Every structure is written in structure tokens, then in C-alpha cells.
Amino acid sequence: MQLTSLFVFASALAVTSAMPARPRCSNTTTATATTTAQATPSPTSVSTNVAYTLPSNGGTTPLASPPTGSVVQHIAVGHGVQNYTCTAAGANGTSIGALAVLYDATSLYPGSGSSALSQADWDALTSKVLRTTSMPIDQSSGAASPFPADAALTVEGVATPLPYLARHYFDSNKVPTFDLTPALFKGSKTTDILAPSSADKGLTDEGAVDWLALSDAGGSVTINMVYRVLTSGGFQGVCAAAGDSQSVPYTAMYWFYAPSA
């Protein structure tokens, strides 16, 4: 008698613990609430205890330093397109702009806390985002806006979604612009160096777009220097004909600096 009831009790426990997710899955109210909460996390601030080190491409030309006294504010993964036009068949495309959505990756920086990635996973993050997440830019000609509604980015194998941080585009004067409302950056190229040969060459194997340092071109708010590093894809292909345009998918890691308070 005692043995039997013990067995029944144990079986009931086994069934309960084997199916913990079932009530949650069948409850749409709870599921919706979870999705909403994950869609609107805020960007993380840098930690004053962490030494954030801008990556090096291993080449002889270093990226220009940020203005004295500046500190990194955000590190973000950008995903979008690099646009080019063609002047002649066989020529390389000429850059005419870019569009990207940037997601805050500050809390994933190796050694920066409980959400941090390993160095290898951090180094591979832009390649992973390029290859495993959807292109956020709407490239159809009839689109009201090429940008999606601001939302966090879920990346396979990364526990916390990356909060939305900024939109990147070229303004009407063709100045590379980053809108991090309320912060804003309008940049001018200071250093332009090749991506390392180990970089992900992109979805069509065209190559990884250059690493850049951009200084303030005037009109920036808060941000005074931006770097584009760990690029994947985005390099122009060889032109088939004059007048062609190319829109090449890419991802990159962007580092934003501001004067220290």
C-alpha cells in the first residue's frame, strides 16, 4: 500500500517536471507579454570597470585615435546595404551610400559581465548576424521607409536580444549619418583601411568592406568619433555595365565615442 502510493506520487512528479512549459505555451496572454517585453529593451551603458579595446586589422596603418578625453559610449552591430554605382563595365563600383539598422551589443563585449560573449563568439558576431538574421532594410522601390519599426534583434545562441540603437543613412548632402536619438553623428572619413583577409566576404563572396574611422563633420550631437570594424560583406562587385547599381548586404561593428563627462 505504502509502496504503491509512493510510486503514484513519483509518477505524478515525473509527469509534472517533464512538462513544465506546457501551461505557458498554451497561454497566449503570457506568450504575448514575453514577446513585447523582449522587443523594447534599452541599450546598455558601458561599464567603467571594463577596458574596451577597439580591434586592429593587423595591418600597418592604425585607425585614427578619437579626440583626447573621449570614451566609448556604445558598441553596436549594424546590418544593411552598401550602395554603389557603375561608371564602366569592368570597373569597381563607386560608393554612393548605405542604409543600416544598428543594434546595441555593448553588454556582449567579452569580459564585461554576465551577458558577455567569448572573444571568439564576439569576433564572429557580425558574420553570424549577416548569415542568420533577416535583412532589416526594405529594398523595394515602393517602400514608404526603408527602415523597419524600431525593434530588438534576436540572434541564435545569444541569450538576450540586442536592443535597437540607431539608424544609419547618408543625408541629402551624402554625409554618413547615424541617428541615435537624442544623439546624432555626421561623419567624415579620417582613416580607411582594408578588412583583414580572414573577414567574412559576404553572401555573394564579394569581399568585406573597409574598416573606417569617422570624425565629426559638423552638426553632430554628443558623439564625436565613430569606427566601423569587424566588417562582413558589403564590398562592391566588379561592374557589368556603366549605369548599373549595386546594393550589397553587409554587417559591421560600430564603436561610438563621446567626450567624457
Ligand X SMILES: *[C@@H]1O[C@H](CO)[C@@H](O)[C@H](O)[C@H]1NC(C)=O
- Enumerate binding residues for ligand X (CB under 6 A): 27, 29-30, 81, 83, 91-92, 96-97, 99, 139, 146, 170, 247
Query: Residue 14 has which C-alpha cell?
Result: 515525473
Q: How far is the CB of 134 from ligand X (least distance, A)?
A: 15
Nearer to ligand X among residue 142 and residue 157 (C-beta): 142
Quickly tell me which residue has 562592391 as its cell. 236
Residues near 91 by beta carbon (within 8 Å), at least 6 away in sequence: 238, 239
Report residue 124 as a C-alpha cell: 564572429
- CB of 48 vs ligand X, minimal distance in Å: 37
Closest approach, Cβ 204 to ligand X, in A, equals: 14
**Pick 10 or 91: Cβ nearer ligand X:** 91
Shorter beta-carbon distance to ligand X: residue 212 or 258:
212
- Minimal distance in Å, beta carbon 100 to ligand X? 11
The DSSP letter of residue 16 is H
- CB contact burial 183-221 (16+ within 10 A = b; e otherwise): bebbbeebbebbbeeebbbbeeebbbbbbbbbbbbeebe
Write down how long the chain is: 261
The residue among 107 and 167 lying less far from ligand X, judged by its C-beta, is: 167
**Closest-approach residue to ligand X (CB):** 97
Nearer to ligand X, 55 or 97 (CB): 97
What is the rounded distance in angstroms from the CA atom of residue 166 to the CA atom of residue 100? 9
Shortest reach from residue 64's CB to ligand X, in Å: 21
